[in-house]
Amino acid sequence: MPTTSAFYIGGPEVMLRIRGMEITAERGTGRMQTGPWLADPDAGIARGALGVALDDVTGYLVDSGSPHGQWPVSLGIRMDFIADPALDGSPLDLSGELVVRYDGGAMSRGVATDASGATIATMIQRSHLVSAPGTPGDHATPELLSAPESPVREQLGLRTSTPDRLTMAPTPLSANGMGSVHGGILVCSSELAAMTAIEAGGRFRTASVDIVYVRACIASETTTFTSEIVHRGRSLSVVRVVSSNSPGRASSIATVVLQRI
């Protein structure tokens, strides 16, 4: 089995300035730069964007210890958020570690800390192994290497068709090395869909996202995020968000908990 893993740069990593990944079969580290692209008119701060970085640092270490010809696919991710990331360009430190490997899969966990060393987000990821249909590769084009500073919502082209529905047109900014929408992008977009559904207007922050991946979400197709408000109170809201490429065929199902600030 390999003891180290290549790290493939794609549109999500370029958009969120994720760099310096060092991965082994047991641990992973890296950095993500903060900036104005994390601001959002509804969410205030797109905390869910950290899902891309933590998915990378917890997922690639599973790949590093996996048999040749197999690739880890996330079954589910649980993220908890403690504080907002900054918008001033300071880096976030990322760390991931293996919890356990078992026949056909693994569990890993990750932490994002700010410039002061304070924890601002955590992740638990459960993965299973599938036969890799091809070799993942870098998908970052020269145009993407100078990513704009506009909000993530705008860069991904998320559009509101109705208050409970967002659509994302095909974009290389959403794709992982296998051509699917990055699991962290589904976390981030589900968060933004939930915030839009409750018309948060920056008055709420995401406390947690619990997401299950039920089938691949194809990045070359339009992705729809449909929200259902499960609970709406003065200080706490719970929203269920389903992503899909085709009506009636879910790709991910997320439960997003939002707290008033």
**How would residue 5 be classed by pLDDT, with cut points 50, 70 and 90?**
low
139 has a pLDDT exceeding 90: no
Spatial separation of the C-alpha atoms in residues 254 and 238, rounded to whole Å: 10
Average pLDDT over residues 26-31: 96
Name the least confident of 4-18, 180-194, 200-214, 239-253. Answer: 4-18
66 has a pLDDT exceeding 70: yes
Q: Residue 207: helix, strand or coil by DSSP?
A: strand
Cβ–Cβ < 8 Å for 249, 215 = yes
Comparing 179 with 87, the larger pLDDT belongs to: 87
Average pLDDT over residues 228-242: 97
251 has a pLDDT exceeding 50: yes
**How would residue 6 be classed by pLDDT, with cut points 50, 70 and 90?**
low
Q: Which helix or strand (DSSP H or E) is residue 189 part of?
A: helix 183-197
Q: Which helix or strand (DSSP H or E) is residue 109 part of?
A: strand 105-113
CA pseudo-torsion sign 96, 57, 257, 33: positive
Among residues 160, 166, 138, 140, the alpha carbon closest in space to that of 15 is found at: 140
Among residues 212, 203, 211, the alpha carbon closest in space to that of 258 is found at: 203
Q: State the pairing for strand pair 119-131/91-102.
A: unpaired
- pTM of the shown model: 0.94
Among residues 222, 251, 240, 239, the alpha carbon closest in space to that of 158 is found at: 222
Tell me how far the alpha carbon of residue 218 is from its chain's centroid: 15
79 has a pLDDT exceeding 70: yes
User: Would you state the pLDDT for residue 56?
Assistant: 96
According to the per-residue pLDDT averaged within each range, which of 100-114, 139-153, 167-181 is highest?
100-114
User: Would you state the pLDDT for residue 1?
Assistant: 32
pLDDT digits (tens, 9 = 90+) for 97-138: 999 999 999 999 999 999 999 999 999 999 999 887 655 555
Distances (CA, A) of 216 to 61, 91, 182, 187, 224: 21, 31, 10, 14, 13
Cβ–Cβ < 8 Å for 157, 171 = yes
